[in-house]
Amino acid sequence: SLKGSEGARPRVGEKVLHLCLFVEANLIREPLVVFVCATTGQGDPPDNMKNFWRFIFRKNLPSTSLCQMDFAVLGLGDSSYAKFNFVAKKLHRRLLQLGASALLPICLGDDQHELGPDATIDPWLGDLWEKVLELYPVPIDLPVIPHGVPLPSKFTLQFLPEAPNPSSKESCLAISDSLGPPSESQPFLAPMVTNQRVTGPSHFQDVRLIEFDITDSGISFAAGDVVLIQPSNSAAHIQQFCHVLGLDPSQCFVLQPREPDVPCPPGLPQPCSVWQLVSQYLDMASVPRRSFFELLACLSPHELEREKLLELSSAQGQEDLCEYCSRPRRTILEVLCDFPHTAGAIPPDYLLDLIPQIRPRAFSIASSLLVHPRRLQILVAVVQYRTRLKEPRRGLCSSWLASLDPKKGPVQVPLWVRPGGLAFPETPDTPVIMVGPGTGVAPFRAAVQERVAQGQTGNFLFFGCRWRDQDFYWGDEWQELEKRGCLTLVTAFSREQGQKVYVQHRLRELGPLVWELLDHRGAYFYLAGNAKYMPTDVMEALMSIFQEEGGLSHPNAATYLARLQRTLRFQTETWA
């Protein structure tokens, strides 16, 4: 299909090659490739790109390998991380090195931008299409789909006259029968055992210690690993959504892709009820992107609403869109309520094109199997904040988890585990310095439990919170371990005195000890928590320790830190 749209951005029937499935050696035959890649960890390629990464960096690839290829690289990143779009930048350089020709400069999408990655991607796509159409003009005999006409939906929903018998064979989860540990396509439904508020009742921040039972799940983990949790929408939001779209939540349907090679979303039951689709799949609590308004305008039968939607999806309307949605963090559900005539007319077939899928959220595992066998604990800060909108904004997953109460009846949460960004030394006497303010302490709770159980010594924990009697997570446990000589705890209670005291201040105060541990005793240094300012501040503190205690010049201190990073003696796990 080919679609003419604003700013000459036709949608051609492009071929999407998933690099995890693509035979890399075939790249030498591709004349034009657009690479879209995120950066994860500490400047690492995502899991599904790892094979490709190894391939493309093979030393024996001749420098003319890709000289037949035109390419463009679109990076997805977040400028609050030190290695902003590192993978995309490195890939761009490597493709040039292998003889490929860049059609246009690399695009660096940034989650931190007010308009999200679209702010840079939209203009870049305009340029990309211009270049591509110069090379591959639209064939004259191919009809152009006029602006305002939607492309066919990706799926069709075939509604069933009556709900299927739940015991019938058809009514099973659309998940594979693969063996092996739980994964995104086959999560484990973990019974929640406890959900306990661990901040003081009057403290503004609600933080929960949540425990799951993972008996017979096939799940295993070590300190530093991460659990992924697939949240659901709240019942109130599901009802509101169904009401405004005129959907019957109890109706059942069978989902069918229009194109044979498009897989159905993993985890959705077949047949599926509208309630299941809306609760488990449609991310109506997210802030809509420009493409949402573009498609909604195409689907709108109401002139006034359509005009407004077109305005918000136009290039000139981006400041208005920012003011209406991005700044106040207005959600898809709230937008649909603001455009009721359009919402009521959305053909159900388009729901999965219009509304993104709910993504799983990661949490650092806070317990060790050596101390809590068959259990998995996490420490969750419930996200809630205000904007100019009347209703407070609530994080989807953390609020959903907080709302679950195992005391009122059985609760199950879909989850699976993957390695995190932190790995701890196995030797018995290598010291570890762990810096984890706030919920950043979670992975270090697992590490301390594991290390103490294995008799590993040299455990140094720097913990920061606001007040010792409000948000000092596991305070009693740390003090008990200190008494037993298993842990050295250093605290920074930021609001207990006139001036702020943070973990980096304590590091500086203990500079001689930190230098001695790192330089003479081969210590590993770990940092976890909020990605915003804390990691940079802590790294600056380390740099000044290297200069003051180690007598290094500024460039030598930077080289020292880089060497620690390269040899995995400096590791971080931070989240935005």
Ligand X SMILES: Cc1cc2nc3c(=O)[nH]c(=O)nc-3n(C[C@H](O)[C@H](O)[C@H](O)COP(=O)(O)OP(=O)(O)OC[C@H]3O[C@@H](n4cnc5c(N)ncnc54)[C@H](O)[C@@H]3O)c2cc1C
Taking CB under 6 A as the binding criterion, the range among 24-32, 73-81, 182-190, 337-345 that sits at the site for ligand FMN is: 73-81
d(CA 174, CA 265): 8
d(CA 20, CA 219): 24
Binding site annotation covers 220?
no
The least CB distance from residue 442 to ligand X, in Å, is 4
Q: How far is CA 135 from the centre of its chain?
A: 36
Q: Does 76 bind ligand FMN (CB under 6 A)?
A: yes
Retrieve residue 300's tokens. Answer: 């709108």
Residues in 173-232 at the binding interface with ligand NAP, rule: CB under 6 A: 205
User: Which residue from 93, 341, 468, 532 is in contact with ligand NAP, where contact means CB under 6 A?
Assistant: 532
Q: Is 289 helix (H, G, I), strand (E, B) or coil?
A: coil
Report helix angle 442-453 to 475-483, nearest 10: 30
d(CA 445, CA 461): 10
CB of 98 or CB of 446, closer to ligand NAP:
446
Binding site annotation covers 396?
yes
Binding mask 99-118 for ligand FMN (x = CB under 6 A): ------------x-------
In the list ligand FMN, ligand NAP, ligand X, none, the entry touching 442 (Cβ below 5 to 8 angstroms by class) is: ligand X
Q: Does 392 bind ligand X (CB under 6 A)?
A: no
Tokens 């199997």 locate to 369
Q: Is 175 helix (H, G, I), strand (E, B) or coil?
A: coil
Taking CB under 6 A as the binding criterion, the range among 79-87, 155-163, 401-409, 510-518 that sits at the site for ligand FMN is: 79-87
d(CA 136, CA 130): 10
Binding site annotation covers 452?
no
247-272 as b/e: b if 16+ CB within 10 A:
bebebbbebeeeeeeeeebebbbbbb
Q: Does 41 bind ligand FMN (CB under 6 A)?
A: yes
- In the bound state, the residue with its beta carbon closest to ligand X is 395
Contact 443, 528 (CB under 8 A): yes
Q: Does 468 bind ligand NAP (CB under 6 A)?
A: no
CB of 39 or CB of 276, closer to ligand FMN:
39
In the list ligand NAP, ligand X, ligand FMN, none, the entry touching 438 (Cβ below 5 to 8 angstroms by class) is: ligand NAP
Cβ-based neighbour number of residue 347 at 10 Å:
12
Binding site annotation covers 453?
no
Binding site annotation covers 42?
no
> Which of 314, 360, 102, 534 is closest to 89 using CA atoms?
102
Beta-sheet pairing, 70-77 with 252-257: unpaired
The least CB distance from residue 439 to ligand X, in Å, is 4
Contact 461, 444 (CB under 8 A): yes
Annotated binding site for FMN: 38-41, 76-85, 111
Annotated binding site for NADP(+): 439, 494-495, 500-504, 537
Question: Contact positions toward ligand X, by CB under 6 A?
Answer: 226, 329, 361-364, 378-381, 383, 385, 395-399, 420, 439, 442, 573, 575-576
Question: Contact positions toward ligand FMN, by CB under 6 A?
Answer: 38-43, 46, 76-78, 81, 83-86, 111
